[in-house]
A and B are shown apart, each in its own frame.
Chain A
Amino acid sequence: AGLPGDLPELEPECRSLLAAFAEGSAALTGCLGRRARPVRLCQGCHGHYRRLLAQYGSIARALGNSSESHNCAKSILTSDRLQIVVTLSEFFNETWEAANCANCLKNNSEGLSNSTEEFLDLFNKSLTCFEHNLQGQTVFLSPNNYTEVCKNCNETYTRLNDLYNNLQRMNRQGGESGHSAHLCIDVEDAMNITRKLWSRTFNCSVPCSDTVPVIAVSSFILFLPVVFYLSSFLHSKQKKRILILPKRIQSNASLVNIQEKYS
């Protein structure tokens, strides 16, 4: 009973598809927003993302039951200038790519990969270790006195750090074709937080600075050229060039003229 040709209303199937997409994107947006800090995007939202992808896919594939020119995909995705559904889905895709979530998920995107699980496990362990060791002394804490933490958690932290470096190396080797060299954002952020705590807040990684030997060795090396140049200046025979007198007429033009006049 509606208008012929251009329908102002969508077909019911299409409408339900659109509604599902709207729901899905709302859920995903909420999830992303809630897990922005500390970053838990990939762990928490991969289910939402996967669902949304499926919904978008079904819109793109769906053919309405009316004439071919009026299928769902066309009327939802491409019939106006704004194309909000496409924009939304592009936004989610880009965010997902930028976060590099594919890197810590299993190949079929169902759940976290084993190495990521292991990493997060170790990460939680180190955090508990930190908390544990700090509990007793929080009150009397002077800002530089975290030796307890440094001593007790060193093992966990080193393992975590090594694992992270390992992951990074593997990623770099395997990732030449597909992904960029980044690990997924969850892992990176977790590592960042831990490292900051460890070396900035707890000040645990104090490298031995051995300035005196370094200065000694470097001044020795820097001194060598001086010796070299001085000795070659004093002892090496200076290279001499042998001058050769050219054979040519040294006279000036007037002399020539005189000669020619008299001959």
Chain B
Amino acid sequence: MANVAKKVSWSGRDRDEDEDGRAGETTPLLNGTGPGAAGGARQLTPSSFLRIGQLSNVDLNEDIHELQTELPRQRPNEIPHNEKLLSLKYESLDYDNSENQLFLEEERRINHAAFRTVEIKRWVICAMIGILTGLVACFIDIVVENLAGLKYRVVKDNIDKFTAKGGLSFSLLLWATLNASVVMVGSLIVAFIEPVAAGSGIPQIKCYLNGVKIPHVVRLKTLVIKVCGVILSVVGGLAVGKEGPMIHSGAVIAAGISQGRSTSLKRDFKIFEYFRRDTEKRDFVSAGAAAGVSAAFGAPVGGVLFSLEEGASFWNQFLTWRIFFASMISTFTLNSVLSVYHGNAWDLSSPGLINFGRFDSEKMGYTIQEIPIFIFMGVVGGILGALFNALNYWLTMFRIRYIHRPCLQVVEAMLVAAVTATVGFVMIYCSRDCQPIQGSSVAYPLQLFCADGEYNSMATAFFNTPEKSVVNLFHDPPGSYNPMTLGMFTLMYFFLACWTYGLTVSAGVFIPSLLIGAAWGRLFGISLSYLTKGSIWADPGKYALMGAAAQLGGIVRMTLSLTVIMMEATGNVTYGFPIMLVLMTAKIVGDYFVEGLYDMHIQLQSVPFLHWEAPVTSHSLTAREVMSTPVTCLRRIERVGTVVDILSDTSSNHNGFPVVESNPDTTQVAGLRGLILRSQLIVLLKHKVFVERANLSLVQRRLKLKDFRDAYPRFPPIQSIHVSQDERECMIDLSEFMNPSPYTVPQEASLPRVFKLFRALGLRHLVVVDNRNEVVGMVTRKDLARYRLGKEGLEELSLAQT
């Protein structure tokens, strides 16, 4: 057995996977099972041990044969990154409540009234989440507006000066340098301080709500970097928006407030200690994400539905109501602060970071004949979205493989910024589309080669922040853009946005998608009115809106929440139906080619993400084939030395350990008694809760649940806990601390059954037992996430170190 284990680990290059609670029963442990009461980690009856031993012997031998004969060449240990991997760096969150004795004691101690205050505290936290998210959104908005205004004024003055005198190439250089240097700062802080703040953050939050622990994702440091990064990348003129990152920011705020402390700042406010658990934190994070959406688009219902769509497997009605409350507070805060800032204090006219403006005039209505046209636009959006995703897929793969050094990432971001400015400049320079200035509808009118009193129409699209360009495309009167301008703009912006997404800057993809869609939608509307000789469908703004919806739907493939977000952002309920149709068509058409952008990025990051359901053709797989085995078990009364050895074994970084009966009488079956987590063990070791010590000093304080919560969420590593040689010989009694009723499945359970249990309850460890209640294996997230429905049926992903 030992021999076999060694061979296996050789072929795995001595690197056991550090999957949660997975096997990794290394030789010292097995040997440790030897003499007497101090014996092994597993006490099994001879017969059962033998049986299992034989079984695994046979199987593993077969395995070895295969491995030795052909596998080493076919499957090299080092492979280039691809999308069919699962990374070991991601772990699950503990959503399952450990109902150990301490928990029961606490519940007894807290009376009914105290639970009421807990409930009130939840509401207070939600209100605070809403307020703070709104304030952060205001901060971003105001800073971006001012900095971008400053930049555009400087460049505009420069261009105006050089248009008269000649030397426009200097203006181009100025613009490109300004952009590149601003983006450089934004990219530097992301690449070197907190890489997890890159991108829109929506994939990360999606993973978090799915139950994957992404390191650093909800830290205060991440929030700070995210906010600064967004401001800098929008000011730097990249083809990005500030809306997606609001969702991440809201989530971080929620996670921070609900814990009543910040480990980044090393401050503990001693409040909300009850909520220091993954379960509670996840509820608040979903509230924060909703508040973020709500602040970004002025769409409180859309925010709630976003959280519902992304984290729906753990949900209840009261939570929905609370989340809705947080969303409403968030948009209201943003609205009131921004209206004060804009000088009309009681007006409440800016509910979100982006306002699509009012779509309620007579000519903006739609007729039933237009619905097929909208559906056609949905098809176009789906195809363009799929193209966008496919291009971005190749680009991201290239980036992961070759541009992984932070300095290179910064350089890349700077180049993109410079090229964005250059493309914009060249387009404006070449454009001969001049429109008369009407009042101050254009924020930074560039005259360039137009006659006095006219401005360059291309400049309204390129020489502006993307949000403003979107609104212009929706609402500028018919004839403000000529078709050539729109066509060129769509083409250029499509590639720029595709190139930009995935850079090491924090920025969202919502606004660029909307902008591309609005541009081609408007173009579509204009050509339609040419074709029909300007009949009822004269207003291109509404087609711009539908195009924007189609493009966004084609790229991100969100359904329910996106419909409601768009509906709320336009403030027109009658648009709900066409928007829904457009998004539906875009999703169906897009899914035919490639999957959504966020899912694609989750896959490329090798995250063990659990979808709604198990792959449809997987009923023939049983828990026996899915599970990992053998399992590292602990006895109910375990030697401290063994525990320390297991925990500090770097090759098997498990997080959950089944606890089995510690009866020294070997004739008895070592049935499953409970489950204990690494974090709990570490707290136990830290407080030295040993049987001998309890006997020595009866006055010793009993460990409470609070001690576990205080250590959450960053439990110290085992290396930092000192255990002396004498203490190693002590015994530790786990029965009080383990979860006495872990979820188990029999070996014969099918994969979809296991999957359902796992996904619906948000489990982290699922113990597989035989009919004698003996532990035979352990199912964790990565065991389930590796099965995926690919192009040629069921595929299995491999595990890899990243």
Contacts and interface: CB of A to CB of B under 8 A. Distances in A.
A236 B406 CA distance: 12
B440 interface: yes
Interface in A190-235: 191-192, 195-196, 198-200, 205, 207-210, 213-214, 216-218, 221-222, 224-225, 228-229, 232-233
Interface in B142-190: 163-169, 172-173, 176
Contact of B629 (A210, A225, A247): A247
Contact of B405 (A176, A221, A236, A249): A236
Interface stretch (A109-117, A142-150, A250-258): A250-258
B80 A238 contact: yes
Interface of B: 8, 11-13, 15-17, 19, 22-24, 51, 54-56, 58-59, 62-63, 75-81, 85, 88, 163-169, 172-173, 176, 343-344, 398, 400-405, 408, 411-412, 415-416, 418-419, 422-423, 425-426, 429, 439-440, 448-449, 451-453, 622, 624-630, 777, 783, 798-802
Contacts of B448: 207
Given A199-B451, A208-B166, A249 B439 contact: no
B15 A242 contact: yes
Nearest to B441: A181
Contact of A246 (B163, B408, B799): B799
A242 B167 contact: no
Nearest to B171: A214
Contacts of A241: 78-81, 85, 800-802
A180 B451 CA distance: 25
Contacts of B166: 208, 210
Given A209-B449, A243-B79, A249 B56 contact: yes
B78 A243 contact: yes
17 contacts: A176-B343, A177-B343, A182-B439, A195-B451, A199-B452, A210-B169, A216-B169, A218-B426, A221-B418, A236-B404, A239-B404, A241-B801, A248-B777, A249-B627, A252-B625, A253-B625, A259-B51
Given A228-B412, A242-B800, A259 B54 contact: yes
Given A176-B343, A259-B54, A232 B403 contact: yes
Nearest to B408: A232
A134 B777 CA distance: 99
A213 B422 contact: no
A228 B12 CA distance: 37
Given A198-B452, A246-B799, 6 more contacts: A195-B451, A221-B418, A228-B415, A240-B81, A242-B800, A249-B59
A29 interface: no
Nearest to A236: B402
B514 to A, nearest CB: 25
B415 A225 contact: yes
Contacts of B798: 243-244
Contacts of A161: 452
A4 B426 CA distance: 82
Nearest to A168: B440
A161 B628 CA distance: 80
A1 interface: no
A263 interface: yes
A159 to B, nearest CB: 14
A245 interface: yes
A172 interface: yes
A200 to B, nearest CB: 6
Nearest to A260: B51
Contact of A213 (B165, B167, B627): B167
Nearest to B82: A241
A207 B449 contact: yes
A263 B770 CA distance: 15
A233 B11 CA distance: 31
Nearest to B169: A213
Interface residues of A, number: 54
B326 to A, nearest CB: 33
B404 A217 contact: no
A214 B426 contact: yes
Contact of B440 (A172, A216, A238, A259): A172
A23 B11 CA distance: 105
Interface of A: 161, 168, 172, 176-177, 180-182, 191-192, 195-196, 198-200, 205, 207-210, 213-214, 216-218, 221-222, 224-225, 228-229, 232-233, 236, 238-253, 255-256, 259, 263
Contacts of A207: 163-164, 448-449
A218 B425 contact: yes
B169 A214 contact: yes
A99 B136 CA distance: 41
A250 B627 CA distance: 10
Nearest to B786: A246
B439 A246 contact: no
A214 B78 CA distance: 47
Given A242-B77, A259-B55, A263-B54, A247 B403 contact: no
Contacts of B412: 225, 228
Contacts of B425: 214, 218
Contacts of B630: 247
A245 B624 contact: no
A24 to B, nearest CB: 31
Contact of A208 (B56, B58, B164, B402): B164
B75 A243 contact: yes
A199 B448 CA distance: 13
Q: In the A-B complex, list the 4 residue pairs whose CB atoms are closest, starting with the nearest.
A: A208-B166, A213-B169, A199-B451, A195-B452
Nearest to A180: B439
B73 to A, nearest CB: 13
Nearest to A221: B422
Contacts of B625: 248-249, 252-253
A224 B404 CA distance: 19
A209 B430 CA distance: 11
Nearest to B15: A244
B452 A205 contact: yes
Contact of B401 (A224, A225, A239, A263): A239
B206 to A, nearest CB: 23
A161 B77 CA distance: 73
Nearest to A181: B440
Contact of B451 (A196, A208, A210): A196
Contacts of B81: 239-241
Choose among A181, A229, A241, A252 the residue with the greatest number of B CB atoms under 10 Å from its CB: A241
Nearest to A263: B51
Contacts of B54: 259, 263
A221 B167 contact: no
A207 B449 CA distance: 6
A196 B434 CA distance: 13
A172 B440 CA distance: 8
B800 A249 contact: no
Among B416, B440, B622, residue most surrounded by chain A Cβ atoms (within 10 Å):
B440
Nearest to B436: A192
A217 B58 CA distance: 70
Contacts of B168: 209-210, 213-214
B418 A224 contact: yes
Nearest to A213: B169
Given A228-B411, A259-B55, A244 B343 contact: no
Give the residue among A176, A177, A209, A240 with the most B Cβ atoms within 10 A. Answer: A240
Contacts of A245: 8, 11-12, 17, 799
B800 A243 contact: yes
Given A195-B452, A207-B164, A224-B415, A259 B58 contact: yes
Given A243-B800, A247-B629, A233 B402 contact: yes
Contacts of A180: 439
Contacts of B777: 248-249
Contacts of B169: 210, 213-214, 216-217
Contacts of A248: 625-629, 777, 783
Contacts of B402: 232-233, 236, 238-239
Contacts of B55: 249, 251, 256, 259
Most chain B Cβ neighbours within 10 Å, of A168, A176, A253: A253
